[in-house]
Amino acid sequence: MSDLNCATERTARVGFPLLHVGQAQKEVTINEAFALADALAQPRVNGIADTPPASPAEGECWIIAAGPSGAWTGRAASLAIFQAGTWIFGSAFEGLTVFDAGAGVRRIYRDGAWQTVPLPSNATGGAVVDQQARDQIATLCAALRMAGVL
């Protein structure tokens, strides 16, 4: 960030808008920052899409897919949040985790892409129970690493 007093500047990680000295209509900038904070605190998305829904509900949030169009053009991988009748955008950053309500899974932004956080499956049957237990522990550890816990 070069100048924290410039209206065009945003925070480095999440992209909150910053106020500048003598700025008129500060409430616009502050309200946008509050809307982004609201959407990014325990984020829940409706799913992943390239195109904005025709009639989004207030507060609806989407992960923008790789080929965005319409109001989402040029915003691939970002979060689109519908607030006050318009789309605002949150930048994805390494480690950002969201709950995808449409798919019923957790997603994490890692290595420049949204990935599904793997969940361990339950062991069933088999003659070699110890090997199955070790396989399940390995799966659980992989999921915890993917989620950034380990």
38 phi and psi angles, rounded to 5 deg: -60, -45
Helix (H, G, I), strand (E, B) or coil at 36: helix
Strand-pair category, 61-64 with 79-83: antiparallel
Q: Which band of pLDDT confidence, cut at 50, 70 and 90, is reported for residue 125?
A: low
- How does 84-105 read in b/e, with b if 16+ C-beta sit within 10 Å? eeebbbbbbeeebebebeeeee
What mean pLDDT do residues 67-86 have? 94
Contact 119, 63 (CB under 8 A): no
Q: How far is CA 58 from the centre of its chain?
A: 17
Residue position matching structure tokens 């998305």: 45
pLDDT value at position 13? 72
The percent of residues in the chain predicted with pLDDT above 90, rounded, is 41
Confidence of residue 75 (pLDDT cuts 50, 70, 90): very high
Residue 2 has pLDDT above 60, yes or no: no
Instruction: Name which residue leads in pLDDT, 113 or 4.
Output: 113
What's the rounded mean pLDDT across residues 25-40? Answer: 82
Inform me whether the pLDDT recorded for 69 exceeds 60: yes
- Compute, in degrees rounded to 10, the torsion defined by CA atoms 120, 123, 124, 129: 160
Cβ–Cβ < 8 Å for 70, 85: no
Indicate the domain borders of the chain: 26-114, 118-146
Q: Of 5-9, 75-79, 93-97, where does the model show the most confidence?
A: 75-79
pLDDT at 32: 83
**Confidence band (pLDDT; 50, 70, 90) for 22?**
confident
Instruction: Residue 136: count other Cβ atoms within 10 Å of its Cβ.
Output: 14
